[in-house]
Amino acid sequence: MPPNGYPSLRRGRQSIPGADYFLTICARRPCTLLAEPPLLTAGFGELQRLEILGIWHTRCVVFMPDHIHLLLTLSAQADLSAAVRLFKGHLTPTLRKIKAAWQPSFYDHHLRDDENAQHVFIYIFLNPYRAQLCAIDAKWPGYYCATEDWAWFGEMTKKDGPEPAWLR
């Protein structure tokens, strides 16, 4: 059995150009402010900046009070660990203003070519509803889905909230 802790998160981590990755990035506890407006603005801005720089393409993201779930496509010139380090590093000053910090490392799952990403989109989308952070008919302000993915995924939702059957 592999050892627990941050080193085991890094074991076997690969950066595969063009691959999709499901990431979870956590704030050091106690922190419940990642989904507050100042951090949302900074977080969405940083995602856009990394996209413009050609580091990754954000497919879907949700900012929760103490963690972020992110589905991205890694670019050809990017290293996954370095890309996450850039993301976390540029948001660190904003976190410090609210007396918060990142947990070391992050969780990543490389989606295989034969793996359907639909379940990851659903998981990310449902996160705030399952945590009962907003009403089922409300839109979570910390959620984003890329236009090309929302074209198919949005058709599966009620647009501003999940299908009730998804929460059973």
Taking the CA atoms of 25, 42, 87 and 54 in sequence, report the sign of the dihedral they define: positive
Burial of 146 (0-12, 13-18, 19+ CB in 10 A): middle
pLDDT at 106: 94
pLDDT at 13: 64
> Do 104 and 31 touch, CB atoms closer than 8 A?
no
Q: What is the pLDDT along the chain (168 residues), one digit of tens a residue?
A: 445 544 444 445 678 888 999 999 999 888 788 888 889 999 999 999 999 999 999 999 999 999 999 999 999 888 999 999 999 999 999 999 988 899 999 999 999 988 999 999 999 999 999 999 998 888 899 999 999 999 999 888 876 678 777 777
Q: What is the CA radius of gyration of the chain?
A: 16
Give the whole-angstrom CA distance, residue 101 versus residue 63.
15
Close Cβ partners of 123 (under 8 Å, ≥ 6 residues apart): 69
> pTM for the whole thing?
0.87
